[in-house]
Chains A and B, each alone.
Chain A
Amino acid sequence: MKKYLMAGAALLVLSACATQPEPELMPEPEPVVEVQPQIIEPEPIPEAQPLPPVVEPFVDPNLPIPGSEDDFAFQSGGEPRVFFGYDQFNLSPEAQDVLRRQANWLNIYQDATATIEGHADERGTREYNLALGARRADSVKAFLVSQGVAPNRLRTISYGKERPIDPRANEAGWSRNRNGHTNLRLGGIG
């Protein structure tokens, strides 16, 4: 298992606070609760007292473990996917935001690699959708590279309409299925 990556990641943890992201389809946006940093004046250390032992930084047990796949998804806004318009492969401002955060994360955890999967909804024919999925995957990769992620850490693959994540045969389902999925792989290449 390569779920835990030890790194100085506490700063990422403090950037937001929420409950565990749901792995289910269509997670509701979690309310963001701002946690005010509490400044506590330290007591003066009495003379001749030994220093307290070094304490591990406090980690909110409700937050994903820094450097984990869950953490990556959490930093991406719940799931590591960006969504596209019908027959589109350009990145919306929201998608670019998500990808900037993904790039930040990837720039911290340099051991991680990813396969960018391009997906299409079922409202297109199979071969055309394979080509469309390839364009979407490439859009995502190009953006991450523009944010400093080394291209050799990112592989692309198109699944066309073959791997839907939402079974609904309506706009709600189709819009979920038009996505670029940054499928993370921890622990480096190979």
Chain B
Amino acid sequence: MTTLKRIFLFLVGLCFALLLGSTASAQLEIDITKGNLDPTPIAVPDFIADSSAERDFGKKIAEVIRADLERSGLFRSLDPASFLETQTNIDYKPAFADWRVIKADALVSGRIRQESPSRILVEFRLWDIFAGEQLKGVRFATTPENWRRTAHKASDAIYEALTGETGYFDTRIVFIDERGPKINKQKRLAIMDQDGENPIYLLGGSDLVLTPRFSPSSQTITYMSYENDRPQVYLLDIETGRRELLGDFPGMTFAPQFSPNGDRLIMSMERRGNSDIYVMDLKSRSTQRLTTDPAIDVSGSFSPDGRKVVFNSDRGNSPQLYVMDADGKNVKRISFGKGRYSAPVWSPRGDKIAFVRSGGGKFGIGVMDVDGKNERILTNSYLDESPTWSPNGRVIIFSRAKQDRAGTTEIWSVDLTGQNLRKVETPGMASDPAWSPLLP
């Protein structure tokens, strides 16, 4: 029997308070739709605190915020050693001239106060240095254990204020942790914060587990497991640890993904060697068959409005991408470039589809419009696969396998623009990442 762990930590008593007000006339605006070759310089001093215990929090929170912003590729976090002004009270305006000298475009001045053993107050003001204006003021009340999530929430607020887009820092990534030699790998379902912190196993390691996906609306994961030597789709509630085999089908069920509001599951089912796409209503557990082609039909992914499905099929003799209505009608091929296409995922913004294209012995992650136009290949390697979108649709993370006898796998991240390619820290070898929605 697999041991399940209750792992979700509620953010107790977290409250947003825009008490410090914000001004509308922001001059500092970052366009994240373009490749950002010139990241915005931002200064994030350690959060001001009184006691040494509080100062420790203040330092760690600022470090997490600096790292979040830096990793986004849109910001360059300035070295605190270069700062001229040391603020002692965030309720006074900073000395803008001092920050202009070190070429900061934005400043985050924050404060941390421990009100009781179980409650800390974290607040910050975001300043536009050139305009000399406050862009945002936020206060969080939370438990001391939640300092890291609070820092991510602060990063999200800063990102949002400066880009006009929702952030993605207070999120998690579910993935497959891989151990052992290539010909005998142990693959285990695991989850970690978006920045690689707090990795936790979600299941025991006895069964092969693949392709987890997050529900967009709850802390539920769907995945495929070879439990009892039967490859089938499961649900796992990561708050309660409740795990459930989804239906009892004669053939393999695989490649599951949630519908945009989480009430249905799209997956493939195999009968006598032939794979087709089905949708299951999670309440009634009734299934509807969407494809009937004798070809491989796999990797269905809903559009965010739930009206369309993109999927992978080799009905045209090589694997390509197709879009159909959510009832299986009006199938149209959308991939026409050179090579073979697979693993499509619809962007949460609705305007793009990410996929894997292979050809010439290489595999890369690409994006295209939902009608197949404006195809752009973002990465290229021996084997890049399993793309998944950040909840704001601006970043894609994916698996990268190296061409080696060890079967090394890693998780990488790239912007929608193809910029900012970087490795995501994982506890060991890792594959099949799936991004959570923004946490509540």
A contact set with B: CB distance below 8 Å: 87, 89, 115, 122-128, 130-132, 134-135, 137-139, 142, 156-160, 162-169
| Complex CA–CA separation, A131 to B319 (angstroms) | 12
Tell whether, in the assembled complex, residue B183 and residue A127 are in contact, meaning their CB atoms are under 8 Å apart. no
Tell whether, in the assembled complex, residue A127 and residue B298 are in contact, meaning their CB atoms are under 8 Å apart. yes
Tell whether, in the assembled complex, residue B229 and residue A157 are in contact, meaning their CB atoms are under 8 Å apart. yes
Instruction: For the complex formed, measure the closest distance between the CB of B291 and the CB atoms of chain A, giving whole angstroms.
Output: 12
Q: Which of the four size classes fits the interface of chain B?
A: 35 or more
| Complex CA–CA separation, A160 to B211 (angstroms) | 12
Tell whether, in the assembled complex, residue B183 and residue A164 are in contact, meaning their CB atoms are under 8 Å apart. yes
Q: Collect the chain B residues with CB atoms within 8 Å of residue A127's CB.
A: 211, 254-255, 268, 298-299, 312, 342-343
Instruction: For the complex formed, measure the closest distance between the CB of B397 and the CB atoms of chain A, giving whole angstroms.
Output: 15
- Which residues of chain B in 351-365 are interfacial with respect to chain A, using CB atoms and an 8 Å cutoff? 356, 358, 363
Q: Collect the chain B residues with CB atoms within 8 Å of residue A115's CB.
A: 229
| Complex CA–CA separation, A132 to B312 (angstroms) | 12
- Is B274 part of the contact surface with A, judged by Cβ < 8 Å? yes
Tell whether, in the assembled complex, residue B342 and residue A128 are in contact, meaning their CB atoms are under 8 Å apart. yes
- Is B247 part of the contact surface with A, judged by Cβ < 8 Å? no
- Is B401 part of the contact surface with A, judged by Cβ < 8 Å? yes
Given contacts A126-B210, A156-B273, 20 further A-B contacts (CB under 8 A): A122-B401, A122-B407, A124-B342, A125-B299, A125-B356, A126-B385, A126-B431, A127-B255, A128-B343, A132-B296, A134-B274, A135-B273, A135-B274, A135-B296, A137-B273, A139-B273, A157-B230, A158-B270, A167-B406, A168-B405
Instruction: For the complex formed, measure the closest distance between the CB of A168 and the CB atoms of chain B, giving whole angstroms.
Output: 6
- Which residues of chain B in 365-419 are interfacial with respect to chain A, using CB atoms and an 8 Å cutoff? 382-383, 385-386, 401-407
Q: Collect the chain B residues with CB atoms within 8 Å of residue A126's CB.
A: 210-211, 343, 385-386, 431-432
Known A122-B401, A125-B356, A162-B208: A167·B181 in contact at CB below 8 Å: yes
Tell whether, in the assembled complex, residue A125 and residue B343 are in contact, meaning their CB atoms are under 8 Å apart. yes
Max chain B C-beta neighbours (<10 A), residue from A122, A130, A131, A159: A131
Tell whether, in the assembled complex, residue B182 and residue A167 are in contact, meaning their CB atoms are under 8 Å apart. yes
Q: Across the two chains, which residue of chain A brings its CB closest to B312?
A: A128
Can you list 6 A-B contacts (CB < 8 A)?
Answer: A89-B273, A122-B383, A126-B432, A128-B312, A167-B182, A169-B402
| Complex CA–CA separation, A85 to B107 (angstroms) | 59
| Complex CA–CA separation, A138 to B251 (angstroms) | 11
- Is B231 part of the contact surface with A, judged by Cβ < 8 Å? yes
Tell whether, in the assembled complex, residue B231 and residue A158 are in contact, meaning their CB atoms are under 8 Å apart. yes
- Is B40 part of the contact surface with A, judged by Cβ < 8 Å? no
Instruction: For the complex formed, measure the closest distance between the CB of A126 and the CB atoms of chain B, giving whole angstroms.
Output: 6
- Is B272 part of the contact surface with A, judged by Cβ < 8 Å? yes
| Complex CA–CA separation, A135 to B273 (angstroms) | 4
| Complex CA–CA separation, A168 to B297 (angstroms) | 29
Choose from A123, A124, A130 the contact partner of B255 (Cβ within 8 Å).
A130
| Complex CA–CA separation, A158 to B318 (angstroms) | 20
| Complex CA–CA separation, A115 to B229 (angstroms) | 10
Instruction: For the complex formed, measure the closest distance between the CB of A178 and the CB atoms of chain B, giving whole angstroms.
Output: 15
Q: Collect the chain B residues with CB atoms within 8 Å of residue A158's CB.
A: 231, 252, 270
Instruction: For the complex formed, measure the closest distance between the CB of B124 and the CB atoms of chain A, giving whole angstroms.
Output: 42
Tell whether, in the assembled complex, residue B299 and residue A134 are in contact, meaning their CB atoms are under 8 Å apart. no
| Complex CA–CA separation, A89 to B403 (angstroms) | 25
Choose from B230, B319, B403 the contact partner of A169 (Cβ within 8 Å).
B403
Q: Across the two chains, which residue of chain B brings its CB closest to A164?
A: B183
Q: Collect the chain B residues with CB atoms within 8 Å of residue A134's CB.
A: 251-252, 270, 273-275
- Is B153 part of the contact surface with A, judged by Cβ < 8 Å? no
| Complex CA–CA separation, A163 to B358 (angstroms) | 22
| Complex CA–CA separation, A37 to B146 (angstroms) | 82
Q: Collect the chain A residues with CB atoms within 8 Å of residue B308's CB.
A: none
Known A167-B181, A169-B405: A125·B386 in contact at CB below 8 Å: yes
Q: Collect the chain A residues with CB atoms within 8 Å of residue B183's CB.
A: 163-167
Q: Collect the chain B residues with CB atoms within 8 Å of residue A157's CB.
A: 229-231, 252
Instruction: For the complex formed, measure the closest distance between the CB of A28 and the CB atoms of chain B, giving whole angstroms.
Output: 20
| Complex CA–CA separation, A157 to B275 (angstroms) | 13
Known A167-B182, A168-B405, A169-B382: A128·B298 in contact at CB below 8 Å: yes
